[in-house]
Chain A
Amino acid sequence: MKKLLTGNEAIALGAIEAGVVYAGAYPGTPSTEILEILGSHPRSEIIAEWAPNEKVALESAIGASVAGGRALAAMKHVGVNAAADPLLSFAYSGSNGGLVLVSADDPGLHSSQNEQDNRHYARLAKLPMMEPADSQEAKDMVRAALELSEKYQRPVLLRTTTRINHSKSVVDSGEKIRPPKRPYERQPRFNLVPAVSKQLHVDLEARMLELAAHSEESPLNFIEWHDRKIGVVAAGAAYQYAREVFGEKASYCKIGFSYPLPLKKIRGFAEQVETLYVIEELDPFMEEQIKAAGIKCLGKDLIPICDELAPSVVAKALLGVEPEMVKLEVQAAPRPPTLCAGCPHRGFFYQAGKLKDVVLTSDIGCYGLGGSPPLNAKDTCICMGAASSLGHGAQKTFDFFGEKKRVVANMGDSTFFHTGLLGLMQTVYNNSPVVTCILDNRTTGMTGHQENPGSGFTLQGDQAPVLEIEPLVRALGVRHVKVVNPLDQKAMKEALEWALAITDAPSVIITRWPCVLKRLSRADREEFGDYFHRCEVDTPACVGCRTCVRTGCPALRFDKAAKKTRIEPSQCVGCEICLQVCPKSAIRAVKKGGN
């Protein structure tokens, strides 16, 4: 049956059809939906799990492969960095049951902190790689990758980009298979000690030569002959853009099996066209290999290396043409993402932003938005889990030079479980007075409310033990720990003052209040009650000082002409932060009738 599916839906369908028994991931845009969809299948069909981080997700998938089942791990591009350790070594062992790693890259940084090109991992780890150009290919390649993985005992990288993960195109569903489990035997290749790995490296190089030969024959690499003045080598979304720009005025060597590259096929193609373009997003990954093989081509001399491509970018670079557009005199104001009305993080950032002589090390999550105006409460954000560890190094360095600065680190609950707890361990073990604030909104907010080890549920909906942060932090050796409701501004302010007064040891503040968009569980309701109501401005009492709007709440509207604040009733949930910060007591709470 023909259906419109996103690349992620297609990858999930491909995994189900190909009989994957274990799928693991840590969420991350643009890969998240793959596991969300697999998690909606029953446990009798597939085991689908959220792991605390990508390293753990991949390691569990490796375990499934070693045991003899088909396995899939999915993550965003930077997640592969976290999983690189098992990836590069398991490349030596090789798979038993087929193993596919989906790396979802984000050219254009739609929602990421960098724009790295994970095709390099294929080369670095010596893995075969496939790159789909639409949803049908995404689905088919999952199956092809698993079969290849079993045939050559290699884990396979399925590399996608945001436009492939999040675009819908037509997919024909296929039959479901359940390949028999492969036998498990104790084998030296799964036990990487130097003497074993030395030989495995030799075997691995031999395998790569076999795979290069396979790539030449693979139906995933094919030539489309049209006009032969221009020849294009392209893969993934870049192929679609090239096809859009040149139509039948060029011939195409479409690459789907992109590592090892089919260099003989490309050479034969190059010989029959006048000019060869290599059109690829981000780095000259194919181009450098093609040039190193002595094949003349044009690529990054003309096509930008930064940002995602689009047909217009390709057309401008290679044909020098620009589209005709509607031009306007007026301009739109920027519309940056903001913390939601009622977001518990606001309570923390409003107070943290007022602290003097502190460096606010942060991390990656909704709480990263605490750095935007008007809160402006963030100094650093590098990668998941870095807030306390980076803060530790900074604090030690300030202290070394006698500089009076204090580090206040913050991260969300999911980030804490991901790798943040190791940074906290560092502040204890190597003792620094970093104040670590764990913003526990009881869910993984930014990526769309996935369950995590602290939320009490698994991806497939089973109840799980709740990993409580406070005892965990104490077990790590932190002696100074406080739990506060971040919406209580007095308590939040006092907690920060309390922690900053501790100068000889690390401290932790856990702000505990649910994300305003979270569907509350029974346990949440028991703990937090049904707190929704709303606030309104006592207009005559409002003096227009704008203190409330400096909380950055999107439910507040400041009317410049009238010099008054108004609260948009459809957006306010009654978190009462504006009420508490108003110096004139001009905001009051009104209980919502009924619910």
Chain B
Amino acid sequence: MSDVKNILLVGVGGQGTILAGKILSNGLLGAGYDVKMSEIHGMAQRGGSVSNQVRYGQKVYSPIIDKGQADILVAFETMEAVRWAPFLKKGGLLVVNDYRIPPAPVLTGSLDYPEGLLEALAAQTPTTVIKAAEIAEGLGNGKAMNIVLFGALIKQMDLADIDWEAQIRANVKASFVDLNLRAFKAGRDAA
């Protein structure tokens, strides 16, 4: 059995999954793990579904997380949790943002945004729901939503010996460090 752990961050282009993935993977690298991270660029940036896949352990081979493999799935948008749920392993942890970004067919009224998603997810796998948008807006900037979710993820990960605050300092713009540190703490407290 391989010791490799798989963390899958998913959302919609522009939500900041890439920054969260970067802080996570740099922290893991600093702690001595072998790390691989995959992200998809290109078309998806124009409002499409995006994923950021982080794998770590003693030795990592495949750069991608496959179906049925993720130990933790962090969904930055509610419907994306549903889209990517098949990538969770049986009993894997789901951290889901209670936040909707309607896709084009819903905006134009040709499809409905499906209801009852959080309940359906919680019925199938251990689920933590975070209102990250509200929390981030409460801190003064909705954009810090990604770091709130990152804080919630870290709480689930049991990697207390890594200095995440230092990683946040190293990876975000100086003027946003304070906001992001508060967002990180708020996310941890909320999870």
Point out residues on A near B: beta carbons under 8 Å.
2, 4, 29-30, 110-111, 134, 162-164, 166-170, 237, 240-241, 243-244, 247, 310-312, 323-340, 366, 369, 372-374, 446-448, 546, 549-550, 552, 554, 556-558, 560
Contacts and interface: CB of A to CB of B under 8 A. Distances in A.
Interface string B104-129: 11111111111011001100110000
A330 B108 contact: no
Contacts, number: 185
A332 B107 contact: no
Given A29-B41, A243-B61, A546 B66 contact: no
Interface string B32-68: 0011111111111111110000000000111110111
B66 A312 contact: yes
A145 to B, nearest CB: 22
Contacts of B13: 337
B82 A328 contact: yes
Contact of A328 (B12, B40, B107, B124): B124
A549 B109 CA distance: 8
B79 to A, nearest CB: 5
Contacts of B48: 335-337
A30 B89 CA distance: 29
B108 A324 contact: no
B104 A332 contact: no
B17 interface: no
Contact of B37 (A4, A111, A241, A560): A4
Contacts of B41: 29-30, 111, 166, 448
A244 B60 CA distance: 8
Contacts of A163: 38, 63-64
B31 interface: no
A166 B40 contact: yes
Nearest to B63: A167
B15 interface: no
Given A110-B43, A337-B47, A339-B46, A324 B90 contact: yes
B61 A244 contact: yes
Contacts of B62: 237, 240-241, 243-244, 310-311
B175 interface: no
A167 B64 contact: yes
16 contacts: A2-B29, A111-B41, A111-B42, A162-B40, A167-B36, A167-B39, A241-B62, A310-B62, A328-B124, A330-B117, A332-B80, A336-B48, A337-B13, A340-B46, A374-B110, A448-B45
Q: 4 tightest CB-CB pairs across the interface, nearest first?
A: A323-B68, A111-B42, A167-B63, A337-B46
Contacts of A134: 36, 63
Q: Which of A4, A30, A134, A312 has the most CB of B within 10 A?
A: A4
A407 B114 CA distance: 41
Given A241-B62, A337-B48, A247 B120 contact: no
A25 to B, nearest CB: 16
A243 B34 CA distance: 15
A169 B108 contact: no
Contacts of A4: 25-26, 29, 35, 37
A338 B46 contact: yes
Among A30, A162, A337, residue most surrounded by chain B Cβ atoms (within 10 Å): A337
Interface in B76-118: 79-80, 82-83, 85-90, 92, 102-114, 116-117
A237 B66 CA distance: 14
A510 to B, nearest CB: 23
Given A30-B42, A170-B29, A328-B124, A336 B92 contact: no
A333 B114 contact: yes
B79 A328 contact: no
B105 A337 contact: no
Contact of A335 (B12, B34, B110, B116): B12
Contacts of A446: 42-43
B107 A325 contact: no
B106 A333 contact: yes
Interface string B1-40: 0100000000011000000000001100100001111111
A240 B61 contact: yes
Contacts of A369: 46
Contacts of B112: 333, 560
Residue from A247, A326, A366 whose CB has the most chain B CB atoms within 10 Å? A326
A336 B41 CA distance: 14
Contacts of A337: 13, 43-48
A324 B89 contact: yes
Contacts of B116: 330
A332 B82 contact: yes
Contacts of B89: 323-324
Contacts of A556: 107-108
Contact of B108 (A162, A312, A331, A552): A552
Contacts of B111: 333
Given A166-B38, A167-B63, A332-B114, 14 more contacts: A29-B42, A111-B42, A166-B40, A244-B62, A310-B67, A323-B66, A330-B116, A333-B106, A333-B114, A335-B49, A335-B83, A337-B45, A546-B108, A549-B109
A336 B12 CA distance: 11
Contact of B63 (A169, A312, A339, A448): A169
A166 B86 contact: no
Nearest to A242: B61
A162 B39 CA distance: 10
